[in-house]
Each structure stands twice: as structure tokens, then as C-alpha cells.
Amino acid sequence: MTDYPQLCMIIDGERVVAGSRRTFTVRNPATGEALGELPLADAADLDRALDTAARGFRIWRDSTPQQRAAVLQGAARLMAERADDLARIATMEEGKPFAEARIEVMMNVGLFNFYAGEVFRLYGRTLVRPAGTRSTVTKEPVGPVAVFSPWNFPLGNPGRKLGAPIAAGCSVILKSAEETPASALGVLQCLYDAGLPKEVAQAVFGVPDEVSRHLLASPVIRKLSFTGSTVVGKQLMKLAAEDMKRTTMELGGHGPVLVFDDVDADRVLEVMAPAKYRNCGQVCVSPTRFIVQEDVFDEFVAGFTARAKTIRVGNGLDPDTQMGPMANPRRPDAMERLIGDAVARGGTLHTGGERIGNQGYFYAPTVLSNVPEDAAIMNEEPFGPVAILNPYRGEAEMIAEANRLPYGLAAYAWTADSRRQKIVAREIESGMVGINTNMIGGADAPFGGVRWSGHGSEDGPEGVEACLVTKAIHEG
Ligand code: NAD
């Protein structure tokens, strides 16, 4: 059994423990029990982290691709070796089933290995110029990056936020969510143990608004990378704009799923019902609005409801569990508000719609249908275990509904018609589209959204590119 580690920040290579600082109590969402006390940064801690990040950048921008690759590959190997311990800590902190947490570790392993290859391909170019002159275009690391990662992928989010800047030759200050600190520290430790100089990556925690204001006010920080809600993303963009810092914003979504009547509904349900309840629906690319063609609607609702009822909800450390608790007490509260409002406005509740048990933050897998467009849940990201199923006449109405909201992160469509597959892929405004699949990510594929879902990509060559600036050098 993994012991929960002592919590700390890591600033200039030093493990900073609570002492007289304020603390945050980290809790297990399955039981509500306290796991540990997390020290929160004060202004002096953040200033020290900023000075260190400036030094770390000077060290790491001069690193060779071989050094960067060795660190990333070494960390990938260590994460794979420590997968069970890392996954268990993530489950204790966030609640997701252990098997899901383990997949997060392996996603980091794949991503770090991919980036280890990318560091050899950060090319510039030489332009055609007359003899005796030269014009070159180079790519340089953007500088120290402040990264903020949320609690829903306690290992995968910090992995993404650390891997790309390190591959690009930047230094990083990571503030992961205070709810899931030990997972983030576990990822960082793999990088240190693989030889990353301690000045290059640091971990701070704090009152989120204080930390982001302090770090983003500093000219040391050249880029902000944030994953979280659109509301907070907009606030942080404004802070970054004061100093014209580069940004990568991975924000919320409201995943539309178009289900046409030319597909086998059972096959769609087999993939998309479990996908809905993965991580209790607390996934930015979660399928949320099922936009179902009317001929298959009744069959689809019945099949979805039957499947939702069979999901085994419990402690994520129990191997039989298919869905854990929600990650924090804010989420069941949000479910009560959103589902209550949907039903009050005339939506039909087929199953769920209630908390489970009297400890932890459990909420039942829920299915709603015929929810009117003015219900809050039709417009606000629910970020919970609730599927919304509504009927539509045909292609044009279904595409219009998919594009109705200002979000555009992940969209899905199920159709056997090859012409329609291409139309839908083209017409839906979304950073990622899955046609007859829910697999929309990969180490080599850009992950990101458009419009209110943010901008910039993580993963793939685009993830490293986002941490580089372009310079043109003209020699006469
Ligand atoms: P929230 O909006 O307060 O926080 C979301 C994340 O942003 C958390 O990790 C939090 O630590 C961080 N954060 C909040 N204020 C910040 C600030 N001023 N500076 C820096 N970081 C800050 O809400 P929450 O209750 O934690 O989550 C609720 C909503 O957030 C969800 O409904 C969902 O829409 C969104 N969310 C999205 C993702 C994602 O993957 N895109 C992940 C987690 C949460």
C-alpha cells in the first residue's frame, strides 16, 4: 500500500514545508478523510521561485538535444516503473478508478518519449539570398513559463505542462491544483531523478488568484499555460495581456455527440456511454450533449439508461469500481443545481439525479432527455456524470445545435455515410473531432480548442512549438 507522501513545494531545489505558512488540507474524495497539509506560497516564496526560474532558463536554453532527450526518456522510464505508486496516489487524491489513473501515467510516458524525439527536430531555415549575405530563421525557447494545471488529470495535466517547455529549452514554475499536489510532485520527481537541473522546474502551491497575479505580474515569466475553466482562463488572459505574454489556454467544453440514424445504436452506446462516465464526467473532452436523430432516439435513450444503471460506483482503489466519487464537494453541489434546473424546466430524468452514500462526494450516473435549450445545463459545462439526450430531425439541425454554444473543444459524430462524415468534420467548429470514435488524443496529435475552449495546442509537435519564439536574422 502506498503511503501518502509528506507535502511540500519545491523551490530552487529545496523542499519547502509548511512551517509558519498557511496550509490547505488535501482530502480523499471517496472518504472525506484528510490526507495531508499542503504549504501555500507567500510572496517571498514566489519571488524566490521567479529568481530561480530566470537562472534555470539560462541553464536549460543552452542544453543539448541529447541532454533534453535523456531527461525526458529517463523520466518516462521512471514513471513507467513507478506507475502503480503514482496511480494509487492520484486515485487517493482525485477519486478516479486506479486503472484510469494508470492510463494517465502511460499517457505521460508516451508523451515524454515523443517529446524526446521532437527535441532533435526544432529546425529553423535558411532563406535564398545573394552571395556574402545570409538570412536565417531560428526557433528559440520562449523563456520561463508559468503553468497552471487542474485536478481532473492529476498526473496527465502536470505531465503535459512540464514536458513541452522542458523539450523546448524553457524553465517552468508549475502550480498544479491544490487538491492533487502529491501526484504532480511525483511526476516532477521523475524528471529530477532523470537528471533535470532543479532550477529548471519548480512546484509552488497557494491561493490560486494570489499565485497567478504574482507570477504573471513578473517580467521574468514569458508565457502562461493554463488548463481549467473558461471563466478563470479569461481572467488570466487579461493578466497576461498586461505584459503581452504568450498564452496556451486549454479551457472548458460542452462536447456535442451527433448520432445519425444510419448507425448501429448499440455500437455507439458501447463506446460513448462508458466514455461519458469516465472520471465521473470531469473531463474537458467529455461527451455531453447527445444530439440524436429522431428515428433512433427512443432506442438510444433506453440503451443509454440501461447502461448507466449498470455502472459500479465506488472507491477508485476497489478493482470492481467503474466510476469513483467526484473530485471535490463543489461538483455534487453543481450537479444538484444543474440537474434540478433541467428537470424544473421540463427535462426528463431517466436515472441518477442524486448523491450516493453519506461519505465522500459520490453522485449517481445520470441520464436526462428532452432538456430545453434554456436550461443551464444546455449552456454551461456540467463537468459531471450526466448525459443530455435530445432528438433532432436531420443533418442541418444537428450541426446547428453542435455549433450553438461558443465552446469548441471536442466533438463526436457517428454516421456510416462517408459524405456526411466529411461534411460534419468540416462544419463543426471544434479543435478536435472524432468520427465513429471517441479516441481523439495521442502523443503525436495536437490537443486544444477554439473559441471559448481556448487556443494553442498541447501534445504533438504543436505542443513544443507553442513554447518557442521565431527569430529572423539577416546578415548583410
Ligand atoms: P475553478 O474554475 O475555480 O478552477 C479550475 C482550475 O483553475 C483549478 O485547477 C484551479 O486550481 C485553477 N484556478 C482557479 N482560479 C485560478 C486563478 N485565479 N489562477 C490560477 N489558477 C486558478 O473551478 P473548479 O471548481 O476547480 O472547477 C470547476 C470548473 O472548472 C469545471 O466546471 C470545469 O468547467 C473547469 N475545469 C476544466 C478543466 C479542463 O480540463 N479544461 C479541468 C478542471 C476544471
Dist. CA 199–CA 49, nearest whole Å: 9
Dist. CA 67–CA 170, nearest whole Å: 13
Q: What is the DSSP letter of 6?
A: P
What pLDDT was estimated at residue 2?
62
Provide CB contacts within 8 A for 385, sequence distance 6+: 276, 277, 280, 281, 323, 326, 335, 352, 363, 364, 365, 366
Helix (H) or strand (E) holding 247, with range, is: strand 246-250
Unique residue bearing C-alpha cell 428515428 = 295
- pLDDT tens-digit readout, 282-292: 999 999 999 99
State if residue 251 touches ligand 1 by the CB under 6 angstroms criterion.
yes
pLDDT tens, per residue, the chain with 476 residues: 568 999 999 999 999 999 899 999 999 999 999 999 999 999 999 999 999 999 999 999 999 999 999 999 999 999 999 999 999 999 999 999 999 999 999 999 999 999 999 999 999 999 999 999 999 999 999 999 999 999 999 999 999 999 999 999 999 999 999 999 999 999 999 999 999 999 999 999 999 999 999 999 999 999 999 999 999 999 999 999 999 999 999 999 999 999 999 999 999 999 999 999 999 999 999 999 999 999 999 999 999 999 999 999 999 999 999 999 999 999 999 999 999 999 999 999 999 999 999 999 999 999 999 999 999 999 999 999 999 999 999 999 999 999 999 999 999 999 999 999 999 999 999 999 999 999 999 999 999 999 999 999 999 999 999 999 999 999 99
Please name which of 180, 161, 211 lies closest in space to residue 50, comparing C-alpha atoms: 211
Dist. CA 82–CA 281, nearest whole Å: 27
Would you tell me the crossing angle of helices 65-81 and 83-94 to the nearest 10 degrees?
A: 70
Helix residue spans in 36-155 (DSSP H): 43-61, 65-81, 83-94, 98-118
Q: What is the DSSP letter of 447?
A: B
Unique residue bearing C-alpha cell 473531463 = 283
Cell numbers standing for residue 96 = 478516479
Q: Is 250 assigned a catalytic role? A: yes
CA 150 to ligand 1 centroid distance, Å: 6
CA 107 to ligand 1 centroid distance, Å: 22
Dist. CA 22–CA 42, nearest whole Å: 8
Please give the order of strands across the beta sheet that includes 145-149.
Answer: 14-16, 9-11, 201-203, 172-176, 145-149, 223-227, 246-250, 454-455
Which residue type occupies 259? V
- pLDDT tens-digit readout, 120-131: 999 999 999 999
Of ligand 1's listed atoms, the one at least distance from the Cα of 251 is 41
What pLDDT was estimated at residue 3?
85
Of ligand 1's listed atoms, the one at least distance from the Cα of 330 is 25
Please name which of 135, 218, 124 lies closest in space to residue 171, comparing C-alpha atoms: 218
| Catalytic residue (one of 170, 190, 284, 467) | 284
Q: Please give the model's pTM, rounded to 2 decimal places.
A: 0.97
Q: Is 8 assigned a catalytic role? A: no
State if residue 177 touches ligand 1 by the CB under 6 angstroms criterion.
yes
State if residue 205 touches ligand 1 by the CB under 6 angstroms criterion.
no
What pLDDT was estimated at residue 206?
98
Provide CB contacts within 8 A for 451, sequence distance 6+: 406, 407, 408, 429
State if residue 312 touches ligand 1 by the CB under 6 angstroms criterion.
no
State if residue 382 touches ligand 1 by the CB under 6 angstroms criterion.
no
| Catalytic residue (one of 93, 94, 118, 250) | 250
What pLDDT was estimated at residue 71?
98
CB atoms within 10 A of CB 411: 31
- pLDDT tens-digit readout, 53-90: 999 999 999 999 999 999 999 999 999 999 999 999 99
